[in-house]
């Protein structure tokens, strides 16, 4: 234990882990949508730090760029355009807490079981050296090219579908008025 604590990396892991868990918990218990979104930022930031500690620099930065930089910003954008009172919002609380907690526990158990049975006591070869991004890229467009393309295709389809649903064609009258502007 003493040896474990003498490593600065483990201290970082400990502090960040606790902060991540606390913020993740506050995301669901917070009574204000914007606060919940900000706690989600903190939780995702903690996840990114954990990826760095696992030498997966690229994945960590993708979490920051995509989740914090784009997804959360869109969350906040959407919340603020529609309805986001400052102060507490009682409507955010509901009586489905218990089923939600149960499902979360089951998901946690399944994921933990899968992780432990797959990796067991396997140790990371080199802690502290970042994974080579070039080899990551080679894996994506080499061995895993088919799943990679499938995911890309699904995302494109989702994007087109989203636009098709949100799009509202103008009536002739509206089109006329738009042209005159």
Query: Interface with other proteins by CB under 8 A: which residues?
Result: 8, 32, 34-35, 38, 41, 57-58, 61-62, 64-65, 68-70, 72-74, 76-77, 80-81, 84, 86-87, 130, 133
Minimum distance of other proteins from residue 80's CB (angstroms): 5
Smallest separation (angstroms) from other proteins to the CB of 8? 5
Q: How many CB atoms lie within 10 A of CB 55?
A: 17
**Residue number, 73 or 101, with CB nearest to other proteins:** 73
- CA–CA gap between residue 73 and residue 20 (Å, rounded): 19
With respect to other proteins, which residue has the nearer C-beta, 97 or 138? 138
Which pair of tokens denotes residue 136?
Answer: 């990551």
Q: Which two tokens stand for residue 7?
A: 């490593």
User: d(Cα 17, Cα 135) in Å, to the nearest integer?
Assistant: 28
Question: Which residues are CB-neighbours of 67 under 8 A, at least 6 positions away?
Answer: 44
Q: What is the nearest approach in angstroms of other proteins to the Cβ of residue 121?
A: 27
Q: CB–CB of 46/20 below 8 Å?
A: yes
CA gyration radius for the chain?
Answer: 22
Residue with Cβ nearer other proteins (31 or 115):
31
**Measured from the CB of residue 160, what is the shortest distance to other proteins in angstroms?**
17
Query: Which residue, 24 or 59, is less far from other proteins as judged by CB?
Result: 59
């Amino acid at each position: 234990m003493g040896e474990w604590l003498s490593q600065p990396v483990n201290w970082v892991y400990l502090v960040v882990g606790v902060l991540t868990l606390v913020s993740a918990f506050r995301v669901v218990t917070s009574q204000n949508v914007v606060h919940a979104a900000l706690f989600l930022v903190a939780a995702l930031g903690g996840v990114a730090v954990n990826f760095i500690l696992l030498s997966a620099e690229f994945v960590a930065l993708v979490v920051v760029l995509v989740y914090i930089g784009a997804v959360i910003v869109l969350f906040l954008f959407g919340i603020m355009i529609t309805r986001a009172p400052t102060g507490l919002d009682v409507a955010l609380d509901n009586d489905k807490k218990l089923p939600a907690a149960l499902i979360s526990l089951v998901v946690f158990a399944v994921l933990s079981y899968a992780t432990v049975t797959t990796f067991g006591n396997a140790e990371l070869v080199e802690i502290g050296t970042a994974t080579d991004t070039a080899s990551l890229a080679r894996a994506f467009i080499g061995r895993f090219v088919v799943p990679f393309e499938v995911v890309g295709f699904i995302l494109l389809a989702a994007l087109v579908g989203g636009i098709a649903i949100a799009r509202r064609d103008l009536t002739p009258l509206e089109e006329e008025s738009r042209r005159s502007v």
